[in-house]
Amino acid sequence: MSPYIKLCSGKEAVSKLQKAGWDIDRQKGYHVMMVKPDYPYTISIPHHKELGMEFLAKSLSRLA
């Protein structure tokens, strides 16, 4: 895992992804579905107080 990844809440993760060009498509329960133009997949961000390090690392590696 990267030492540069910092723990954050689901709300912070959604905010950071919006700054990176992602849009909120919908929300179902505690998960926010986000889409980006010209990207074929929807990503799901859990709206928890703290996201685990493994979740953040896997999610970021899939976006690259």
Which residue stretches of 1-64 are H helix?
A: 10-19, 53-63
CA–CA separation, 48 and 4 (whole Å): 21
Q: Give the per-residue pLDDT at 38.
A: 87
Average pLDDT (53-57) is 65
Residue of 12, 14, 55 lying closest to 31 (CA atoms): 14
**DSSP classification of residue 10:** H
| Higher per-residue pLDDT: 34 or 60 | 34
State pLDDT tens for residues 9-45. 888 888 888 998 999 999 988 889 989 988 888 888 8
| Cβ contacts of 17 within 8 Å, gap of 6 or more | 34, 43, 45
Task: Report pTM.
Answer: 0.69
